[in-house]
Structure 1
Amino acid sequence: MAKTVADVMTPNPLVISPDAPLTDAIALLAQNRIGGLPVMDNTGKLVGFISETDIIWQQSGVTPPAYITILDSVIYLENPSRYEKELHKALGQTVGDVMSNGPMITIKPDCSLSEAARLMNQKQVHRLPVLDGSKKLIGILTCGDIIRVMAIGTDDD
Protein backbone atom coordinates (compact mmCIF):
# COMPACT_ATOMS: atom_id res chain seq x y z
CA MET A 1 0.00 0.00 0.00
CA ALA A 2 1.32 3.44 -0.92
CA LYS A 3 2.35 5.71 1.92
CA THR A 4 0.56 8.99 2.52
CA VAL A 5 1.86 12.33 3.73
CA ALA A 6 0.53 11.50 7.22
CA ASP A 7 2.65 8.34 7.31
CA VAL A 8 5.98 10.15 6.97
CA MET A 9 5.46 13.79 7.97
CA THR A 10 6.90 15.24 11.15
CA PRO A 11 3.86 15.69 13.42
CA ASN A 12 3.36 18.65 15.73
CA PRO A 13 6.14 20.79 14.25
CA LEU A 14 7.84 23.61 16.08
CA VAL A 15 6.23 26.94 15.22
CA ILE A 16 7.09 30.59 15.80
CA SER A 17 5.16 33.86 16.00
CA PRO A 18 5.62 36.66 13.46
CA ASP A 19 6.36 38.99 16.40
CA ALA A 20 9.23 36.83 17.66
CA PRO A 21 12.73 38.30 17.40
CA LEU A 22 14.68 36.96 14.45
CA THR A 23 17.34 35.72 16.87
CA ASP A 24 14.75 33.32 18.36
CA ALA A 25 14.09 31.80 14.92
CA ILE A 26 17.82 31.47 14.25
CA ALA A 27 18.31 29.72 17.60
CA LEU A 28 15.40 27.31 17.00
CA LEU A 29 16.66 26.39 13.53
CA ALA A 30 20.21 25.84 14.76
CA GLN A 31 19.32 23.94 17.95
CA ASN A 32 16.90 21.61 16.18
CA ARG A 33 18.92 21.26 12.97
CA ILE A 34 15.94 22.13 10.78
CA GLY A 35 15.69 24.34 7.73
CA GLY A 36 12.50 26.23 8.43
CA LEU A 37 9.62 27.00 10.75
CA PRO A 38 5.91 27.58 10.17
CA VAL A 39 4.83 31.03 11.36
CA MET A 40 1.55 31.07 13.28
CA ASP A 41 -0.39 34.13 14.41
CA ASN A 42 -1.97 34.39 17.86
CA THR A 43 -5.18 32.74 16.58
CA GLY A 44 -3.29 29.63 15.43
CA LYS A 45 -3.53 30.49 11.75
CA LEU A 46 -0.59 29.67 9.48
CA VAL A 47 0.57 33.07 8.15
CA GLY A 48 3.94 32.27 6.64
CA PHE A 49 7.11 30.28 6.77
CA ILE A 50 10.62 31.31 7.74
CA SER A 51 13.52 29.38 6.28
CA GLU A 52 17.28 29.50 6.29
CA THR A 53 17.06 31.21 2.89
CA ASP A 54 14.93 34.02 4.34
CA ILE A 55 17.38 34.51 7.19
CA ILE A 56 20.60 34.61 5.17
CA TRP A 57 19.54 37.97 3.73
CA GLN A 58 21.02 39.29 6.98
CA GLN A 59 24.49 38.22 5.88
CA SER A 60 24.28 38.49 2.11
CA GLY A 61 23.65 42.21 1.78
CA VAL A 62 21.51 43.81 -0.89
CA THR A 63 22.53 45.09 -4.29
CA PRO A 64 20.75 48.26 -5.41
CA PRO A 65 18.94 48.01 -8.75
CA ALA A 66 20.88 48.97 -11.85
CA TYR A 67 19.95 52.32 -13.35
CA ILE A 68 21.06 54.91 -15.86
CA THR A 69 20.80 58.68 -15.68
CA ILE A 70 19.66 60.65 -18.71
CA LEU A 71 19.15 64.42 -18.49
CA ASP A 72 18.87 64.33 -14.69
CA SER A 73 16.29 61.53 -14.85
CA VAL A 74 16.89 58.15 -13.26
CA ILE A 75 15.75 55.16 -15.29
CA TYR A 76 15.82 51.84 -13.44
CA LEU A 77 16.84 48.84 -15.51
CA GLU A 78 15.00 46.50 -13.16
CA ASN A 79 12.07 46.83 -10.79
CA PRO A 80 13.13 48.90 -7.75
CA SER A 81 10.39 47.33 -5.61
CA ARG A 82 12.40 44.07 -5.58
CA TYR A 83 15.26 46.02 -4.01
CA GLU A 84 12.93 47.48 -1.38
CA LYS A 85 11.68 43.98 -0.49
CA GLU A 86 15.25 42.64 -0.25
CA LEU A 87 16.33 45.61 1.85
CA HIS A 88 13.38 45.09 4.21
CA LYS A 89 14.43 41.45 4.67
CA ALA A 90 18.09 42.34 5.16
CA LEU A 91 17.25 44.88 7.87
CA GLY A 92 14.44 42.85 9.47
CA GLN A 93 14.47 42.27 13.21
CA THR A 94 11.40 40.05 13.65
CA VAL A 95 10.24 36.84 12.06
CA GLY A 96 7.41 38.75 10.37
CA ASP A 97 9.93 41.09 8.73
CA VAL A 98 11.78 38.34 6.90
CA MET A 99 9.39 35.39 6.55
CA SER A 100 7.98 34.26 3.24
CA ASN A 101 4.31 35.07 3.33
CA GLY A 102 3.13 34.73 -0.24
CA PRO A 103 0.43 32.23 -1.06
CA MET A 104 1.05 29.32 1.31
CA ILE A 105 1.59 26.02 -0.44
CA THR A 106 0.21 23.33 1.83
CA ILE A 107 -0.84 19.70 1.56
CA LYS A 108 -3.43 17.44 3.19
CA PRO A 109 -2.37 14.43 5.27
CA ASP A 110 -4.21 11.91 3.08
CA CYS A 111 -2.35 12.87 -0.13
CA SER A 112 0.10 10.35 -1.55
CA LEU A 113 3.83 10.92 -1.40
CA SER A 114 3.82 11.01 -5.21
CA GLU A 115 1.37 13.91 -5.14
CA ALA A 116 3.52 15.67 -2.54
CA ALA A 117 6.70 15.17 -4.57
CA ARG A 118 5.01 16.51 -7.71
CA LEU A 119 3.77 19.57 -5.80
CA MET A 120 7.22 20.21 -4.31
CA ASN A 121 8.83 19.97 -7.75
CA GLN A 122 6.17 22.09 -9.43
CA LYS A 123 6.27 24.85 -6.80
CA GLN A 124 10.02 24.49 -6.13
CA VAL A 125 9.64 24.16 -2.37
CA HIS A 126 11.59 21.96 0.05
CA ARG A 127 8.90 21.53 2.68
CA LEU A 128 5.13 21.57 2.91
CA PRO A 129 3.01 22.43 5.93
CA VAL A 130 0.39 19.71 6.41
CA LEU A 131 -3.09 21.03 7.25
CA ASP A 132 -6.07 18.97 8.36
CA GLY A 133 -9.64 19.56 7.18
CA SER A 134 -10.10 22.50 9.54
CA LYS A 135 -6.87 24.12 8.23
CA LYS A 136 -5.04 23.35 11.47
CA LEU A 137 -1.30 22.72 11.14
CA ILE A 138 -0.65 19.09 12.06
CA GLY A 139 2.75 18.43 10.51
CA ILE A 140 5.55 19.25 8.09
CA LEU A 141 6.64 17.16 5.11
CA THR A 142 10.15 17.77 3.80
CA CYS A 143 12.05 16.52 0.77
CA GLY A 144 14.21 14.61 3.24
CA ASP A 145 11.13 12.73 4.51
CA ILE A 146 10.35 11.56 0.98
CA ILE A 147 13.99 10.64 0.29
CA ARG A 148 14.13 8.52 3.47
CA VAL A 149 11.06 6.57 2.34
CA MET A 150 12.61 6.08 -1.09
CA ALA A 151 15.85 4.85 0.49
CA ILE A 152 14.12 2.08 2.39
CA GLY A 153 11.93 1.22 -0.61
CA THR A 154 8.59 1.12 1.15
CA ASP A 155 6.66 3.52 -1.10
CA ASP A 156 4.76 1.38 -3.58
CA ASP A 157 3.17 4.37 -5.28
Structure 2
Amino acid sequence: MNSVSKCMKRKVVCISQDAPVREAISLVVENKVGTLPVLDEAGRLVGVVKLRHLLSLAMPNFLNFMEHFEFVHGFGAIDLRMPLPEDLNRKVREIMDEPVYAEENFSLMHAAAILNQNGLKDLPVVNLEGKLIGLASHVDIGTALMKSWLNAPSNTLGK
Protein backbone atom coordinates (compact mmCIF):
# COMPACT_ATOMS: atom_id res chain seq x y z
CA MET A 1 0.00 0.00 0.00
CA ASN A 2 1.29 3.43 -0.93
CA SER A 3 0.79 5.91 1.88
CA VAL A 4 0.19 9.61 1.42
CA SER A 5 3.46 10.34 3.24
CA LYS A 6 5.39 8.89 0.29
CA CYS A 7 4.07 11.48 -2.20
CA MET A 8 3.61 14.61 -0.09
CA LYS A 9 5.71 17.74 -0.16
CA ARG A 10 7.82 17.94 2.98
CA LYS A 11 8.82 21.58 2.67
CA VAL A 12 5.63 23.37 3.69
CA VAL A 13 5.09 27.06 4.29
CA CYS A 14 3.04 27.43 7.49
CA ILE A 15 2.12 30.09 10.02
CA SER A 16 1.43 30.49 13.73
CA GLN A 17 -2.16 30.90 14.87
CA ASP A 18 -1.09 34.07 16.69
CA ALA A 19 0.51 35.72 13.64
CA PRO A 20 -1.23 38.73 12.08
CA VAL A 21 -3.22 38.24 8.88
CA ARG A 22 -0.75 40.61 7.17
CA GLU A 23 1.96 37.96 7.66
CA ALA A 24 -0.27 35.27 6.15
CA ILE A 25 -0.80 37.44 3.07
CA SER A 26 2.93 38.01 2.79
CA LEU A 27 3.67 34.26 2.96
CA VAL A 28 1.02 33.42 0.37
CA VAL A 29 2.29 36.09 -2.04
CA GLU A 30 6.01 35.31 -1.58
CA ASN A 31 5.60 31.54 -1.88
CA LYS A 32 2.68 31.42 -4.33
CA VAL A 33 0.69 28.98 -2.23
CA GLY A 34 -3.06 28.70 -1.82
CA THR A 35 -3.14 26.69 1.41
CA LEU A 36 -1.37 27.84 4.54
CA PRO A 37 -1.39 25.35 7.44
CA VAL A 38 -1.71 26.99 10.86
CA LEU A 39 0.30 25.57 13.75
CA ASP A 40 0.24 25.95 17.51
CA GLU A 41 3.38 26.48 19.60
CA ALA A 42 4.12 22.73 19.59
CA GLY A 43 3.92 22.42 15.80
CA ARG A 44 0.52 20.73 15.82
CA LEU A 45 -1.92 21.50 13.02
CA VAL A 46 -4.77 23.65 14.40
CA GLY A 47 -6.19 25.26 11.27
CA VAL A 48 -5.80 26.21 7.64
CA VAL A 49 -5.88 29.60 5.94
CA LYS A 50 -6.84 29.44 2.27
CA LEU A 51 -6.31 31.97 -0.46
CA ARG A 52 -10.06 32.63 -0.53
CA HIS A 53 -10.01 33.64 3.17
CA LEU A 54 -7.45 36.30 2.41
CA LEU A 55 -9.12 37.52 -0.78
CA SER A 56 -12.44 37.81 1.03
CA LEU A 57 -10.94 40.52 3.23
CA ALA A 58 -11.23 42.95 0.31
CA MET A 59 -13.37 41.28 -2.36
CA PRO A 60 -17.16 41.35 -2.30
CA ASN A 61 -18.85 38.08 -1.43
CA PHE A 62 -21.08 38.13 -4.47
CA LEU A 63 -18.13 37.10 -6.64
CA ASN A 64 -18.18 33.71 -4.92
CA PHE A 65 -21.79 33.14 -5.89
CA MET A 66 -21.92 34.50 -9.42
CA GLU A 67 -21.98 31.61 -11.83
CA HIS A 68 -21.76 33.60 -15.05
CA PHE A 69 -19.93 36.90 -14.93
CA GLU A 70 -18.72 36.97 -18.55
CA PHE A 71 -21.12 39.86 -19.18
CA VAL A 72 -18.96 42.14 -17.04
CA HIS A 73 -16.27 43.62 -19.28
CA GLY A 74 -14.11 44.82 -16.45
CA PHE A 75 -14.46 44.83 -12.72
CA GLY A 76 -12.33 47.97 -12.56
CA ALA A 77 -12.32 49.42 -9.07
CA ILE A 78 -12.94 46.02 -7.47
CA ASP A 79 -9.39 45.03 -8.46
CA LEU A 80 -8.08 47.97 -6.44
CA ARG A 81 -9.94 47.23 -3.20
CA MET A 82 -7.77 46.85 -0.11
CA PRO A 83 -8.50 45.18 3.23
CA LEU A 84 -9.07 47.45 6.20
CA PRO A 85 -5.99 47.94 8.42
CA GLU A 86 -7.82 46.32 11.34
CA ASP A 87 -8.39 43.19 9.22
CA LEU A 88 -4.68 42.98 8.41
CA ASN A 89 -3.85 43.16 12.11
CA ARG A 90 -6.31 40.42 13.15
CA LYS A 91 -4.86 37.12 14.34
CA VAL A 92 -4.76 34.24 11.87
CA ARG A 93 -6.84 32.17 14.34
CA GLU A 94 -9.77 34.55 13.64
CA ILE A 95 -9.98 33.72 9.92
CA MET A 96 -8.72 30.12 9.69
CA ASP A 97 -10.83 27.03 9.09
CA GLU A 98 -10.71 23.93 11.25
CA PRO A 99 -8.11 21.62 9.73
CA VAL A 100 -8.99 18.75 7.45
CA TYR A 101 -6.00 16.43 7.19
CA ALA A 102 -4.65 12.97 6.55
CA GLU A 103 -2.47 10.98 8.88
CA GLU A 104 0.87 9.94 7.43
CA ASN A 105 -0.16 6.27 7.11
CA PHE A 106 -3.40 6.94 5.17
CA SER A 107 -3.57 5.28 1.76
CA LEU A 108 -3.50 7.37 -1.40
CA MET A 109 -7.17 6.61 -2.08
CA HIS A 110 -8.14 7.56 1.48
CA ALA A 111 -6.32 10.89 1.08
CA ALA A 112 -7.89 11.43 -2.37
CA ALA A 113 -11.34 10.78 -0.90
CA ILE A 114 -10.75 13.36 1.85
CA LEU A 115 -9.63 15.94 -0.74
CA ASN A 116 -12.67 15.25 -2.91
CA GLN A 117 -15.22 15.12 -0.09
CA ASN A 118 -14.04 18.47 1.27
CA GLY A 119 -13.42 20.23 -2.05
CA LEU A 120 -9.76 20.80 -1.23
CA LYS A 121 -6.77 21.30 -3.49
CA ASP A 122 -4.17 20.56 -0.80
CA LEU A 123 -4.29 18.25 2.18
CA PRO A 124 -2.09 18.71 5.26
CA VAL A 125 -0.47 15.49 6.48
CA VAL A 126 0.22 14.96 10.17
CA ASN A 127 2.09 12.35 12.21
CA LEU A 128 0.47 10.42 15.05
CA GLU A 129 1.11 13.33 17.45
CA GLY A 130 -0.81 15.71 15.17
CA LYS A 131 2.31 17.57 14.05
CA LEU A 132 2.43 18.76 10.47
CA ILE A 133 4.89 16.76 8.38
CA GLY A 134 3.80 17.61 4.83
CA LEU A 135 1.19 18.69 2.32
CA ALA A 136 -0.27 16.53 -0.45
CA SER A 137 -2.07 18.01 -3.44
CA HIS A 138 -4.46 16.43 -5.95
CA VAL A 139 -1.53 16.34 -8.36
CA ASP A 140 0.79 14.67 -5.82
CA ILE A 141 -1.75 11.96 -5.04
CA GLY A 142 -2.95 11.47 -8.62
CA THR A 143 0.54 11.13 -10.06
CA ALA A 144 1.53 8.73 -7.27
CA LEU A 145 -1.45 6.54 -8.16
CA MET A 146 -0.59 6.64 -11.88
CA LYS A 147 3.07 5.86 -11.21
CA SER A 148 2.08 2.34 -10.18
CA TRP A 149 0.31 1.94 -13.54
CA LEU A 150 3.58 2.49 -15.38
CA ASN A 151 5.20 -0.36 -13.46
CA ALA A 152 2.30 -2.80 -13.88
CA PRO A 153 2.46 -5.56 -16.51
CA SER A 154 0.46 -4.46 -19.57
CA ASN A 155 -1.94 -7.42 -19.29
CA THR A 156 -3.13 -6.27 -15.83
CA LEU A 157 -4.09 -2.70 -16.79
CA GLY A 158 -7.82 -2.04 -16.83
CA LYS A 159 -8.68 -4.87 -14.47
> TM-score, structure 1 length as denominator?
0.69
The structure with the greater share of residues assigned to strand is 1
1:43 match: 42
Q: Which residue of the other structure, out of 90, 94, 107, is the alignment partner of 1:97?
A: 94
In 2, the alpha carbon distance for the partners of 1:42 and 1:110 equals: 24
Distance 1:119 1:97, change over 3 A: same
Is residue 122 of structure 2 the alignment partner of residue 118 of structure 1?
no
Q: Which amino acid aligns with 1:97?
A: E
In 2, the alpha carbon distance for the partners of 1:6 and 1:52 equals: 24
In 1, the alpha carbon distance for the partners of 2:148 and 2:49 equals: 29
> TM-score, structure 2 length as denominator?
0.68
2:140 match: 145
For residue 12 of structure 1, report the CA deviation from its aligned partner. Answer: 4.3
Is residue 154 of structure 2 the alignment partner of residue 155 of structure 1?
no
For residue 155 of structure 1, report the CA deviation from its aligned partner. Answer: 3.5
In 1, the alpha carbon distance for the partners of 2:139 and 2:129 equals: 26
Aligned residue pairs, count: 126
1:134 match: 129
What is the CA RMSD across the aligned residues, in angstroms? 2.4
Q: Which amino acid aligns with 2:131?
A: K
- Gaps in structure 2 of 5+ consecutive residues: 63-85, 153-159
For residue 55 of structure 1, report the CA deviation from its aligned partner. Answer: 0.7
- Gaps in structure 1 of 5+ consecutive residues: 64-89
List aligned pairs for 1:6-45, cutoff 5 A.
6-45=5-44
Distance 1:62 1:53, change over 3 A: closer
For residue 27 of structure 1, report the CA deviation from its aligned partner. Answer: 1.4
Could you tell me whether the CA contact under 8 Å between 1:18 and 1:41 is conserved in 2? yes
In 1, the alpha carbon distance for the partners of 2:93 and 2:129 equals: 24
Could you tell me whether the CA contact under 8 Å between 2:22 and 2:88 is conserved in 1? no
